[in-house]
Amino acid sequence: MALQDKYAVLLQTANNLGVANLAVTEQNGVLHVAGTANSTADYDTLWALYDKIDPNMASGDLMMNIDIKAEAGAQLKVTTDSSNLNIRSTPSTEGDIVGKAAHDEIVTLVEKTNDSWWKIKTKDGEEGYAFAQYLSPVA
């Protein structure tokens, strides 16, 4: 089975979600998919599909490099289920909690430290690292 056929649902979903700069290439038996999702929800949807097609990513035949649309200074909404989002001193759960951002609070992106942790600043001036999964760009 061709890799683009195996991952056809994922690729179609990326198109339907409007992933910007979507690039799909195949090299040495690995499908490379890159682009920029409009929100963390879209990003999570794509990763969930990947896990459904290839549980635990065991095949090793897909490299997905999907970024989330947000630039330094962008306004982000805290998208926790209902609880506060911890703001930490370092980009790790080992970092001290230096603040909290409430569910649905709007914060400012300082920098995308990596795919998992973004440095943010609250309206009260608290600054630190938060888990990117719970932050979505405000349209």
pLDDT of residue 90 exceeding 90, the answer is yes
- Complete domains list, the chain, with CATH: 3-68 (3.30.460.10), 75-137 (2.30.30.40)
pLDDT tens track for 109-122? 999 888 789 999 99
pLDDT of residue 109: 94
Q: What is the pTM of this model?
A: 0.62
Query: Comparing C-alpha atoms, which of 47, 110, 93, 36 is closest to residue 85?
Result: 93
- Residue found by looking up tokens 């980009």 in the block: 91
